[in-house]
Structures are given as structure tokens and as C-alpha cells.
Amino acid sequence: MTPADYRIESSHPIQHPWLPVREAQQHFVSDRALAVTMAAKSTTLPSGKEIRVVHVPTGEVVFRKPAAPRTEWSDEV
């Protein structure tokens, strides 16, 4: 495996204390479990946006942390 086997990505800057570059929109990781764990524990700036883990050689999305639902679209009062 190469260092770029998995990409953690978002259309917004990703924040996590263990990521090497803060507020970048993508990070490359060699281990699938580590990439999924990092994505699951990360947030975006602004918060609540989608974060994905992509297997770089195939382009397959192997994990998706969906965007948080917007409260103004909720039926609850």
C-alpha cells in the first residue's frame, strides 16, 4: 500500500487535533481503519458538513459521515 491509499475529504475544511494540516479539505492516510476513525471523529468548518473516506485507487467511497440535518428544515417545534 502507498501513503495515499485513502483520502479523507470534504467540501469544507476538516478539523481534528491529530491531522497534520489543520483546516485542509483533504488528508491522505495509508490505513483504512485509521482513515474511517479520523473521519468519524472530525468536524468541518463550518460544522455539520459531510466528510467522506475515499479509496484512492478505485474511487470508491468507503465511509461517509453525512451532513447534520438543518434545524430550520425540521418539523419539530
For residue range 4-60, what is the model confidence (pLDDT) as tens digits? 799 999 999 999 887 777 779 999 999 999 999 999 999 998 888 999 999 999 999
Q: Flag whether 31 is in a domain.
A: yes
- Structural contact between residues 13 and 24, judged by C-beta atoms closer than 8 angstroms: yes
Q: Flag whether 75 is in a domain.
A: no
Q: Flag whether 70 is in a domain.
A: no
Q: Flag whether 74 is in a domain.
A: no
- Compare 1 and 36 and report the one with higher pLDDT: 36
Q: What domain range is 55 assigned to? A: 6-63
CA distances from 42 to 7, 54, 62, 72, 74 (A): 14, 15, 16, 24, 24
How many angstroms separate the CA atoms of 43 and 72, rounded? 21
User: Is the pLDDT reported for residue 73 higher than 80?
Assistant: no
Q: CA dihedral defined by 69, 15, 23, 64, rounded to 10 degrees?
A: -50
Q: Flag whether 27 is in a domain.
A: yes
Instruction: Give me the number of domains the chain comprises.
Output: 1
Q: Flag whether 68 is in a domain.
A: no
